[in-house]
C-alpha cells in the first residue's frame, strides 16, 4: 500500500474562524441597518440598494430592479465583512494582549473609515451621504462587538 503523509492545516482553520466571525458580524450590521431603516426615514433599510449602486450604477437607487439590486448589495456587504473577519483573524494573534473589546472596536472604527469613508466615497459620495454617518458608524461598532464576542475566549 502507498504511504500517505497527512499534513495538518495550520493557517486555514484560523482563516475559517475569521470568515465565520466576519459573516456573523456582517449579519449583525445588516440587521442593524434594517432596524434603523424601519425606525428612521427608511434610507438605511435600502443599504443593500445603495451598495448595489457600486456595481449596477447609480440608477439602481432610482429604479430598483425587482429586488435584484438589494440582493446584490447584501451579497457585497457580506463579502466585505467576510474579508474584514479574515483580516481580523490574521491580526488577532498580534493584538490579543490588548483585549478583545477595545481592539475589536478600534478595528471596526478603522474598517468603517476605510470601507465607508474612503472606498465608499471614491465610488459614490452621495451614496454615503444618503445613508448617514451615524447609523453606519454604530452598525460597524456593533460589528466590532460581534467580533469581540466571537474572540472573547481565544
Over residues 79-104, the pLDDT tens digits come to 888 998 898 888 888 887 887 788 88
Q: Are 22 and 82 in contact (CB under 8 A)?
A: yes
pTM of the model: 0.75
**Sequence-separated (6 or more) residues with CB below 8 Å from residue 8:** none
- Whole-number pLDDT of residue 24: 92
From the centroid of its chain, how far is CA 130? 19
Q: Where are the domains of the chain?
A: 13-150
Over residues 102-129, the pLDDT tens digits come to 888 888 888 888 888 888 788 777 777 7
- Whole-number pLDDT of residue 68: 72
Over residues 41-76, the pLDDT tens digits come to 555 556 666 666 666 666 666 655 556 777 777 888
The CA distance from 91 to 82, in Å, is 14
Amino acid at each position: 500500500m502507498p504511504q500517505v503523509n497527512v499534513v495538518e492545516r495550520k493557517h486555514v482553520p484560523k482563516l475559517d474562524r475569521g470568515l465565520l466571525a466576519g459573516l456573523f458580524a456582517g449579519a449583525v450590521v445588516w440587521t442593524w441597518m434594517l432596524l434603523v431603516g424601519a425606525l428612521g426615514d427608511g434610507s438605511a433599510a435600502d443599504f443593500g440598494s445603495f451598495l448595489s449602486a457600486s456595481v449596477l450604477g447609480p440608477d439602481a437607487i432610482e429604479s430598483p430592479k425587482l429586488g435584484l439590486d438589494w440582493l446584490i448589495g447584501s451579497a457585497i456587504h457580506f463579502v466585505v465583512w467576510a474579508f474584514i473577519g479574515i483580516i481580523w483573524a490574521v491580526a488577532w494573534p498580534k493584538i490579543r494582549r490588548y483585549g478583545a473589546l477595545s481592539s475589536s472596536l478600534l478595528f471596526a472604527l478603522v474598517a468603517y473609515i476605510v470601507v465607508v469613508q474612503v472606498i465608499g466615497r471614491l465610488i459614490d459620495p452621495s451614496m454615503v451621504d444618503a445613508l448617514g454617518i451615524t447609523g453606519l458608524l454604530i452598525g460597524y461598532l456593533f460589528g466590532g462587538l460581534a467580533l469581540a464576542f466571537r474572540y472573547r475566549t481565544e
